Amino acid sequence: MIRCLIYIDPSETECSLDLIEAARQLHEGPFELTGVLCDRREIPLPRVLDRLIQIEQPDNAYLDPAQVAKTMHERYRANGYTSILIPATPFGRMLAPRLAMLLGTGLVADITQIRRNNGVVEVIRPAYSGSLMACIRFVGDGPMMMSVRPNVFHDMVKEIRAMQIEHLVPQLGEKRIERVWVQRKQISCDIRESEVLVSGGGGIAKSFAKIERLAKLLGGQASASRKLVDAGIAPRSIQVGQSGKTVSPELYIALGINGAIQHIEGIKQTKHIISVNINKDAPLGSLSDIVVEGDADRFLDLLIRRIQQYQQSE
Ligand SMILES: Cc1cc2nc3c(=O)[nH]c(=O)nc-3n(C[C@H](O)[C@H](O)[C@H](O)COP(=O)(O)OP(=O)(O)OC[C@H]3O[C@@H](n4cnc5c(N)ncnc54)[C@H](O)[C@@H]3O)c2cc1C
């Protein structure tokens, strides 16, 4: 029986459950699906797993990826899994290499695609700062282990499974991490959840306020290329791309963005792209449904005015 183990990050449950789609693409045919969740709280999860192992440890232990890796390693030794998938969230990125080391297996980090070549599974991940995509095959006895970039796979199937819940209180090792204080970061909205993104790049550095205005009028959010983030014009929380966020809106309006590979990496799941650029041959144009050749600032002025006129006439 093919068995898959996924880690569910309690702070990012939705993208953790999207690992199910990655598991589906990894294994052809039926497979048993077990989730590991480290949290004492009752976290409402849909019934999409065969088994949920809820690890209950004192508060501080949840912060220690080494403790979580140790517990998952013990479960692996008891049950054996064909594959282990971990979301590449901040905690997942700390957990995955520790677990791989305990398992003595290789880890493919931050994968963005799974495919089959003559029946052989291949996983794809950005390499050399995203300037090329590496294609990796699994050899050896396994388990196949990988961390998966958030928001790339989406579990649309939501297959109902038995969802047996097992509570586990493991023996803790020596306490290595202590929580001193917690600061909750104020994130007003997450660009990954927006249906419409209006995104600005190097060609529109002086007009970022207008980008926010257009985004609001369209019921969406503003986002940016790294160029504007590095220039201190836009916050890092709204950066799209390889070192920013992977987004999947219905509509992505790119203003003055050239389309570097690291930017494209973050918008591959986007449904429709409109790009505005003085250079009609900018690389992003080849991915766009509509390319507007011209000044992005003027485009913003005209579109904002047109929407406002429309709203007033309603
Ligand atoms: C390790 C690494 C990670 C990276 N991660 C990311 C990432 O996550 N996200 C990301 O975006 N980048 C990332 N980058 C940077 C990336 O390589 C590019 O440098 C960056 O995306 C360029 O941003 P840009 O297209 O907005 O700006 P530019 O490259 O400056 O392009 C500006 C564009 O605007 C056009 N333009 C100029 N004036 C106007 C005008 N008046 N009206 C309309 N168009 C105009 C130009 O023709 C050009 O196409 C990363 C780089 C590295 C090395």
149 lines ligand 1 (CB under 6 A): no
**Which ligand 1 atom is nearest residue 200's CA?**
26
> b/e per residue, 162-198, with b = 16+ CB within 10 A?
eeeeeeeebeeeeeeeeeeeeeeeeeeeebbebebbb
279 lines ligand 1 (CB under 6 A): yes
202 lines ligand 1 (CB under 6 A): yes
Most confident listed range (61-75, 117-131, 278-292): 278-292
Q: Say what percent of the chain tops pLDDT 90.
A: 62
Q: Say what percent of the chain tops pLDDT 70.
A: 94
Together in a domain, 196 and 82: no
Together in a domain, 134 and 90: yes
Does residue 181 form part of some domain? no
Q: Rounded to an integer, what distance in angstroms lies between the CA atom of residue 86 and that of residue 94?
A: 10
Residue 45 has pLDDT above 60, yes or no: yes
Beta strands in 108-195 (DSSP E): 108-111, 113-117, 120-127, 132-137, 144-148, 164-168
Q: Rounded to an integer, what distance in angstroms lies between the CA atom of residue 231 and that of residue 205?
A: 9
Does residue 184 form part of some domain? no
Supply the CATH number for residue 280's domain. 3.40.50.1220
Backbone angles phi, psi at 303, to 5 degrees: -70, -40
Together in a domain, 149 and 26: yes
Residue 300 has pLDDT above 70, yes or no: yes
Together in a domain, 104 and 22: yes
Together in a domain, 151 and 197: no
Residue 33 has pLDDT above 90, yes or no: yes
Which amino acid residue places its CA nearest to atom 41 of ligand 1?
295
Does residue 183 form part of some domain? no
Together in a domain, 224 and 259: yes
CA of residue 224 to ligand 1 center, whole Å:
9
Residue 60 has pLDDT above 60, yes or no: no
Together in a domain, 129 and 220: no
Which amino acid residue places its CA nearest to atom 5 of ligand 1?
243
CA-wise closest residue to 47 among 218, 156, 165:
165
Does residue 113 form part of some domain? yes
Together in a domain, 284 and 137: no
Give pLDDT tens digits for 265-278. 999 989 999 999 99
Does residue 285 form part of some domain? yes
* Domain with 228 in it: 191-313
Q: What is the pLDDT of residue 187?
A: 55
Supply the CATH number for residue 56's domain. 3.40.50.620
Mean residue pLDDT of the chain comes to 90
Task: Name residue 28's beta-bridge partners.
Answer: none
Does residue 180 form part of some domain? no
Give the domain-ending residue among 111, 135, 168. Answer: 168
Together in a domain, 11 and 160: yes
Does residue 182 form part of some domain? no
**Entry pTM:** 0.69
Q: Ligand 1 pocket test: which of 263, 268, 273, 295 has the largest number of ligand atoms within 8 Å of its C-beta?
A: 263
244 lines ligand 1 (CB under 6 A): yes
Q: Ligand 1 pocket test: which of 257, 273, 293 has the largest number of ligand atoms within 8 Å of its C-beta?
A: 257
Together in a domain, 283 and 222: yes
Does residue 73 form part of some domain? yes
263 lines ligand 1 (CB under 6 A): yes
Number of structural domains, the chain?
2
Together in a domain, 138 and 15: yes
131 lines ligand 1 (CB under 6 A): no
- Pinpoint the alpha helices (H) of the chain: 13-17, 19-26, 65-79, 90-103, 208-217, 226-230, 261-264, 296-313
Give the domain-ending residue among 105, 137, 168. Answer: 168
Together in a domain, 79 and 203: no
225 lines ligand 1 (CB under 6 A): yes
